Structure 1
Amino acid sequence: MRILISPAKKMKIDTDSLPYENLPQFLEETQAILQCLQGMDYAGLKALWRCNDSIATLNYERVKAMNLRRDLTPAILAFEGIQYQYMAPSVFEDKQFLYIQKHLRILSGFYGLLCPFDGVTPYRLEMQAKLAVNGERDLYEFWGEKLANQLCSETDFLLNLASKEYSKAVLARLPKSIRFLTCTFGELKEGKVIEKGTLCKMARGEMVRFLAEKNITNPQDIKNFDRLGYTYREDFSDSQNFVFLKVEEKNAANW
């Protein structure tokens, strides 16, 4: 089993808490992307990033001085988004670190595919960014089949906790022999499952923590997730999508 998650826009440098173990496996491709970014001016990068001046200035300076082999942070500690806050890897025990190093993979527009203890430097680049690299019109075409092929070499079961922006980079390129299971976290409104961005990120992070704490590798055991008020719903789920619903207290007694 491999668990897929998205990166976060906000990143930090932490070279003290834990050492990184390896360089990312697609570093040559990352270097090509970096060279492309370094060839752009401030206005072009700000437009690419679609951000304010403060964020653009910070990341412009990062790009111009970026070294992919120095002052690196383990990927699992480098990202600071909501998902990672709820995963809380900084308080994992050794056995949980061993679990995620084996099973967890972070999809990235810049690095492609990351293991938790791959050494990374702060960057800003979404997978859906319209960046032409090496003649390819965007990052989806640039990465092509590389990410899917690597994952297929590791497992025949992918548990998708990534957003559609990132899972899109893998899903369309998988052979039918690979099981791709997505977890949906939502609320029931007028008979429809409604997903809310922030709550989904919280649940995805909590799910990774749950899987690591329980050492889960059997798909059936994923259904036992019951944190943050979510419960697995067989009636909304199928073999490709496990649905977990947060039930309002006033409606909890109705099913």
Structure 2
Amino acid sequence: MRIIIAPAKKMVTDTDSFAVDGLPQFLEQTERLNAVLQGMSPKELQALWRCSDAIARLNVERLEQMDLRRNLTPAVMAYEGIQYRYMAPGVMAAAHLNYLREHLRILSGFYGLLRPFDGVTPYRLEMQAKLPVNGCLDLYQFWGDCLARQLASESDLVLNLASKEYSKAVEPHLPKAVRFITCVFGEQKDGKVIEKGTQCKMARGEMVRWLAEHNITDAADIQTFDRLDYQFQPSLSTEKHKVFLKADSQRRTS
């Protein structure tokens, strides 16, 4: 099984807590993206990033000083979003970190596909960014099917805990022989399942931690996840979508 998650916009440098295992698999493509970004003006970069002046200045400085091979942070420690705080890899036991090494993969507009302890440096580049590269109109075209092919070479089961922005860089390109299961974390309102961004990120991070703690490798075991008051809903689920609802939202609609 391979678990895919999205990155986070906010990143930090931490070269002390854990050593990196090596360099990212698609570093050659990352170097091409980096060259394109470094050739853009600060105004063009801010338009691409769609961010504030302060964030633009920070990331322009990062680009000017960027070294893709030295002073690197393990990917799973580099991102600081809600999902990563709930995953809390910094306080995981060694056995759980080894589970992440084998099973977890982080999707990235800049790095493509990251193993948890691949060394990275802070960057800003979302997968949906409209960045023309090598004749491609955007990053979805640039990465094409190579991320899906890499995942398919590793496992015949992909558990999708990524956002739609990132998962669509993989799902359309996977061979039919590879099962692709998406977990939905929501609340029930007026007979519909409603997903809320922050709650979803919390649940995805908590599920990654739970998967590691229980050494889950079988798709059938995923539905026993019950943290953050979520419960699996077999009547709302399919082979490709596993739905988990907040228990209090079920009580309100029952």
C-alpha separation in 1, matches of 2:19 and 2:239 = 38
1:240 match: 240
Give the superposition deviation at 1:248. Answer: 1.7
For residue 45 of structure 1, what is the aligned residue in structure 2? Answer: 45
Q: 1:124 to 1:249 in 2, by over 3 A?
A: closer
Gaps of 5+ in 1: none
- Residue deviations 1:184-209, cap 9 Å, x none? 00000011000000000000000000
| Distance apart, 1:247 and its partner CA | 2.5
Residues 212-252 of structure 1, C-alpha deviations (whole Å, 9 max, x = no match): 00000011111111011100000100100000000227826
> Structure 1 stretches (4+) deviating beyond 3 angstroms?
none
User: Is residue 2:156 matched to residue 1:156?
Assistant: yes
- Which residue matches 2:166? 166
Cα distance in 2 for partners of 1:56, 1:106 equals 24
CA contact (8 A) 2:187 2:250 kept: no
TM-score, scaled to structure 2: 0.98
Q: Percent identity?
A: 63
Question: Which amino acid letter does the alignment assign opposite residue 16 of structure 1?
Answer: D
Q: Once the 2 structures are TM-superposed, how far is the Cα of residue 169 of structure 1 from its aligned partner?
A: 0.3
Equivalenced residues, count? 254
- Cα distance between partner residues in 2 of 1:155 and 1:57: 41
Superposition TM-score, scaled by structure 1 size: 0.98
Q: Distance in 1 between matches of 2:145 and 2:250?
A: 47
CA contact under 8 A between 1:8 and 1:81: conserved in structure 2? yes
SS in structure 1 of the partner of residue 54 of structure 2 = helix
Q: Helix, strand or coil for the counterpart of 2:7?
A: coil
Q: RMSD of the alignment, in Å?
A: 1.1
Separation of aligned partners in 2, 1:83 and 1:194: 19
Partner of residue 103, structure 2: 103
One-letter code aligned to 2:74: P
Spell out, residue by residue over 1:135-178, the C-alpha distance to the aligned partner (whole angstroms, 9 max, x if none).
Answer: 11100000011101101100000000000000000011111111
Structure 2: 5+ residue stretches without partners = none
Name the residue aligned to 1:206: 206
Partner SS, residue 116 of structure 1: coil
Q: Deviations over 1:55-114 (max 9, x none)?
A: 000001101110100110000000000000000000000000110000000000000000
2:86 match: 86
Distance 1:29 1:253 in 2: 49
- 2:182 matched residue in structure 1: 182
**Counterpart Cα distance in 2 of 1:102 and 1:16:** 22
Amino acid at match of 1:175: P
Distance 2:212 2:45 in 1: 37
Secondary structure of the corresponding residue to residue 123 of structure 1: coil
Shift of 1:182: 0.2
